[in-house]
Chains A and B, each alone.
Chain A
Amino acid sequence: DTAVSQTPKYLVTQMGNDKSIKCEQNLGHDTMYWYKQDSKKFLKIMFSYNNKELIINETVPNRFSPKSPDKAHLNLHINSLELGDSAVYFCASSQSPDTQYFGPGTRLTVL
């Protein structure tokens, strides 16, 4: 049974489009995260939600909007996609900030 799942696994789209990535965790954790792994391979936090409330919002363009309908879900919506948005996006969840459980990632390619 998958602990943290993301859909889709791959996403190829044109510049200017709007797309969403969904994340669900069945671990009962209170905190969920979105990370971006860019071409230089650094894994950088974008957002963190605790019990549906935004607690971390790094310097991310406001074209990126996270939405948490309940504490088991954290979706990422991206407006007006740009070439530089191409990356692998990882969702994660945790009960403590140290041990985070990651999803398999969504590889976004913007053409």
Chain B
Amino acid sequence: DQQVKQNSPSLSVQEGRISILNCDYTNSMFDYFLWYKKYPAEGPTFLISISSIKDKNEDGRFTVFLNKSAKHLSLHIVPSQPGDSAVYFCAVRQGAQKLVFGQGTRLTINP
């Protein structure tokens, strides 16, 4: 049973517009959430994170929103750029040493 779900396997967005990637989780005890970005033939790289004590965290063009009551996490990228085309993984921290990842959403930014 998957504890972290990204229900959209792919998303296509026009350059300059907003990209919104979504993630749902099952356990209300999760307290730390992350987004990783992955280019082809490379490993995932850390992008942005948020603690459960916050509902928003912003870093440049990237903002993560957390809705604890809905157990929902989203990543907003604005404005979207061609270099943002990648697979985005949502992850939650479980315990002291473990991250649980979703299956990823492939984002394509069209010029």
Contacts and interface: CB of A to CB of B under 8 A. Distances in A.
Interface in A72-105: 90, 92, 97-105
Contacts of A101: 43, 45-46
* Interface class of chain A by DSSP: strand
Given A45-B99, A56-B98, A98 B93 contact: yes
A44 B101 CA distance: 7
Contacts of B49: 98-99
A90 B97 contact: no
Contact of A43 (B42, B45, B46, B89): B89
* Interface class of chain B by DSSP: strand
Contact of B98 (A40, A43, A48, A104): A48
A9 B49 CA distance: 29
B29 interface: no
Contacts, number: 57
Contacts of B89: 43
B97 A55 contact: yes
Contacts of B101: 42-44
Q: Which 10 A-B pairs have the closest CB atoms?
A: A102-B43, A43-B101, A41-B103, A97-B97, A42-B103, A99-B46, A102-B44, A103-B43, A41-B104, A104-B43
Given A45-B99, A90-B43, A90-B44, 20 more contacts: A4-B43, A40-B103, A41-B103, A42-B102, A43-B89, A43-B101, A43-B103, A44-B101, A45-B98, A45-B100, A48-B98, A55-B97, A56-B97, A56-B98, A97-B96, A97-B98, A98-B93, A100-B46, A104-B42, A105-B43
